[in-house]
């Protein structure tokens, strides 16, 4: 077990301790797993608003005449989908065989050939090395701003109202997966209308030295709208209910975006990119495994690594599982044989000494109602 004296901390660590957070080691960072309880924080985000410290995530700037061409070469999605102005795109970095280096969000900023990449905390060094390795002769510069940037996620039905109270009503015009800027009390920050909970909300980029100010302001101004500080525990149960993948679980070097059910974000037809050929073949049907959503019976929660059976035959393994806090039944992602992946198929999960019935259902388990 890594000693807490060696763990990295975000600029908000003192704020978490003041709120009585339970801190844990996550990817080498000392992070809050919960404040009141995972269930309370999960429900607050679903019903009102939750605020999360995700400053451990990585941020890279890509700029220059061929920044677009370089990013288009290393991601599986099509950067041409980004319209003029500020907007965002979900994608993956893939290996030559189609396996996943990481998943990320690409933000296109106002200046031409000026992009922000947001990557997973556990993969910052690996992703940076991968991008450097594949930059080749592309005329662009890469800048790692991870250590200078804090990231706060404001999520939930009341997120727009809370941020508008601070930054002005103009933020209401920013569409889903849009990107904007604001200056409040002389502090400039940017934000994407993105998140990892299945709810409307924003991920707000702010300089480290102003992170505590923004965190406090969001809690203070959001109090009347029911905002709650939330930890990584609720972040995980929320993303799972919403059917969102987690690297190291639903995506990995051995699990491609196609196998993970993310074919909509892979565009082989766009032209050459790393992993194009195997991903094109998989998208055309040459895949033997599929990620499925399972609805379990009873109350026992499936966990990563539990075996999945179709009759007496093991056909796969759970990649993520949880009680299903809001939906009210056990849920799990599982990577299973293609033949057992059809919606409606009755499977079973080996939980301790029992085989618990579970049905393949459509993704996601939870979808927020539109305003």
Q: Is the dihedral of CA 211, 214, 218, 221 positive or negative?
A: positive
Per residue in 168-215, pLDDT (tens digit) is: 999 999 999 999 999 999 999 999 999 999 999 999 999 999 999 999
Mean pLDDT of the chain: 96
Q: Where are the alpha helices (DSSP H) in the chain?
A: 13-18, 38-47, 67-74, 124-135, 159-167, 211-222, 232-241, 276-283
- Residue 263 has a pLDDT of 97
Mean pLDDT, residues 17-36 taken together: 97
pLDDT tops 60 at residue 4 = no
Q: What is the token pair recorded at 177?
A: 């997966």
For residue 161, report the phi and psi dihedrals to the nearest 5 degrees.
-60, -40
Per residue in 240-296, pLDDT (tens digit) is: 999 999 999 999 999 999 999 999 999 999 999 999 999 999 999 889 999 999 999
Domains (ranges, CATH) in the chain?
4-55+148-241 (3.30.1360.120), 288-361 (2.40.30.110)
- Residue 84 has a pLDDT of 61
Q: How far apart are CA 358 and CA 340, in angstroms?
A: 12
- Residue 371 has a pLDDT of 60
Provide the pLDDT confidence category of residue 1 given band limits of 50, 70 and 90. very low
Q: Is the dihedral of CA 205, 202, 4, 127 positive or negative?
A: negative
What DSSP letter does each residue of 190-233 carry, written as one string? Answer: EEES--SSSSSEEEEEEEGGGHHHHHHHHHHHHGGGTEEEE-HH
Per residue in 95-144, pLDDT (tens digit) is: 999 999 999 999 998 778 999 999 999 999 999 999 999 999 999 999 99
pLDDT tops 70 at residue 5 = no
Mean pLDDT, residues 82-93 taken together: 86
């Amino acid at each position: 077990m890594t000693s807490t004296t060696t763990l990295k901390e975000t600029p908000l660590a003192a704020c978490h301790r003041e709120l009585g957070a339970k801190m844990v080691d996550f990817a080498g960072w000392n992070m809050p797993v919960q404040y009141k309880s995972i269930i309370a924080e999960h429900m607050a985000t679903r019903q009102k608003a939750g605020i999360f410290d995700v400053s451990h995530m990585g941020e890279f700037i890509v700029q220059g005449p061929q920044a677009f061409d370089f990013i288009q070469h290393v991601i599986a999605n099509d950067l041409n989908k980004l319209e003029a102005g500020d907007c965002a795109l979900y994608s993956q970095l893939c290996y030559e065989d189609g396996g996943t280096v990481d998943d990320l969000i690409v933000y296109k900023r106002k200046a031409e050939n000026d992009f922000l990449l947001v990557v997973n905390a556990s993969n910052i060094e690996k992703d940076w090395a991968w991008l450097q390795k594949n930059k080749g002769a592309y005329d662009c510069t890469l800048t790692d701003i991870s250590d200078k940037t804090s990231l706060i996620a404001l999520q939930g039905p009341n997120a727009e109202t809370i941020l508008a109270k601070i930054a002005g009503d103009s933020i209401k015009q920013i569409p889903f997966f849009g990107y904007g800027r604001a200056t409040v009390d002389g502090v400039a920050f940017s934000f994407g209308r993105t998140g990892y909970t299945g709810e409307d909300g924003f991920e707000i980029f702010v300089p480290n030295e102003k992170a505590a100010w923004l965190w406090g302001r969001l809690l203070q101004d959001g109090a009347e709208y029911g905002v709650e500080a939330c930890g990584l525990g609720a972040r995980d149960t929320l993303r799972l209910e919403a059917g969102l993948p987690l690297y190291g679980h639903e995506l990995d070097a051995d699990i491609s975006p196609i196998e993970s059910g993310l074919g909509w974000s892979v565009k082989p037809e766009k032209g050459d990119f790393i992993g194009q050929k195997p991903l094109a073949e998989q998208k055309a049907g040459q895949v033997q495994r599929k990620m499925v959503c399972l609805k379990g019976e009873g109350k026992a929660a499936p966990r990563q690594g539990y075996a999945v059976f179709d009759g007496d035959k093991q056909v796969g393994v759970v990649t993520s599982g949880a009680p299903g806090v809001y939906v009210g039944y056990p849920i799990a992602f599982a990577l299973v044989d293609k033949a057992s992946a059809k919606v409606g198929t009755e499977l079973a999960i080996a939980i301790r000494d029992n085989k618990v019935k579970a049905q393949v259902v459509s993704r996601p388990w939870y979808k927020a109602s539109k305003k």
